[in-house]
Amino acid sequence: MNESQVSVPLPVRLRFGHAAVQHLADSIGVDLLHIKGVAVDPSLRPGGYAGSDVDVLVRPSQVDALDRALRANGWALYSTFEGGSPFGHAQTYLHDAWGFIDIHRYFPGIRLDPAQAFEVFWADRRPVEIAGVGCRVPSVTAQAVLLLLNTARSAKGARGDVVTVWTEADEAFRADVTQLVARLHAEVAFAAATGGLDRYRDDREYRLWKVVSQGGSRAAEWRARIRAAPSAGAAMRMALRATFVNVDHLAHRLGRTPTRLDIAVEFIRRPFVGVGQAAQAVYRRYGPRRVVR
């Protein structure tokens, strides 16, 4: 770093990132809601937590317009919807000044149609100011739901949000949260976060939420993803995708754009990794147990 450059604290940079994407969205008439991180209402996170990137939920019909605008204004595509997560819900961009931003076309765990779900959030939006720019966030109740659904995907993450947003909340607030969860058809993911997931053993998404909330191998995750597909056609497409190399993840692991040879080597390596993970899972379940005397 040159002596003339100044290191900007992460929370400050994130606020400017929120402001930058809002300014861009306003310039092209795109509706978006700021979620997580610095956009969360202080009542839900009294200690504050800035996060590590900017997250916004975009009106689904306007995702392509925002994608074009971001690429034209200094944001480089970092990972795609298809390669970013088991849910294909967000696309990540990187800006030299503002860092990472995640554009959500829907939120994992919500099974209401994405356009309808966005409208539910949009109807009760609240105005906030971030870095001097007028932004919009979901209602406090909706923010609580999103935090809980986000926690459900954190197998190794902290569960502090569950305690603050749900466990320690008063009955009236918990009732509002439960009502919104039902309206969004998000009961399975909600149970993965707050307890009681086994009540949904017969649901097609049960195994997927069990893997992402409690941990599991990549092979187990893919099997769960296929089972969670909403139709036979979608399951077939998911099964086909499982055979492909995730170029986004490979590029991040290598720190550069993968060559054809890199992709070929990864394609050959993946089955061996899968077998190793399966063997470890079998050993953990059926291997020798230490006898405590």
pLDDT by position in tens, the chain (length 293)? 444 455 778 888 999 999 999 999 999 999 999 999 899 999 998 776 767 889 999 999 999 999 999 999 999 998 888 766 678 889 999 999 889 999 999 999 999 999 999 999 999 999 999 999 999 999 999 999 999 999 998 765 557 789 889 999 999 999 999 999 999 999 999 999 999 999 999 999 999 999 988 887 777 777 887 888 777 777 676 666 555 555 555 555 666 666 656 545 554 555 544 444 444 443 444 455 544 44
In what order do the strands lie in the sheet containing 32-35? 32-35, 54-58, 99-104, 90-95, 75-79
What's the rounded Cα separation, in Å, for the pair 252 and 64?
24
pLDDT at residue 7, as a whole number:
74
User: For residue 119, is it within any domain?
Assistant: yes
Domain that holds residue 51: 1-138
What's the rounded Cα separation, in Å, for the pair 253 and 280?
23
pLDDT at residue 65, as a whole number:
97
User: For residue 106, is it within any domain?
Assistant: yes
pTM for the full predicted model: 0.79
Helix (H, G, I), strand (E, B) or coil at 76: strand
User: For residue 213, is it within any domain?
Assistant: no
- CA trace torsion 262, 79, 161, 187 (10° rounding): -100
pLDDT at residue 4, as a whole number:
45
Tally of domains within the chain: 1
Please list the residues that pair with 93 across neighbouring strands: 77, 101
Residue 33 is inside which H or E element, if any? strand 32-35
User: For residue 120, is it within any domain?
Assistant: yes
User: For residue 282, is it within any domain?
Assistant: no
SS3 content of the chain, % helix, strand, coil (to 5): 55, 10, 35
User: For residue 246, is it within any domain?
Assistant: no
CA dihedral (248, 254, 258, 261) positive or negative: negative
Separation of CA 44 from chain center? 19
Q: What is the CATH number of the domain that holds 23?
A: 3.30.460.10
pLDDT at residue 252, as a whole number:
55
User: For residue 12, is it within any domain?
Assistant: yes
User: For residue 73, is it within any domain?
Assistant: yes
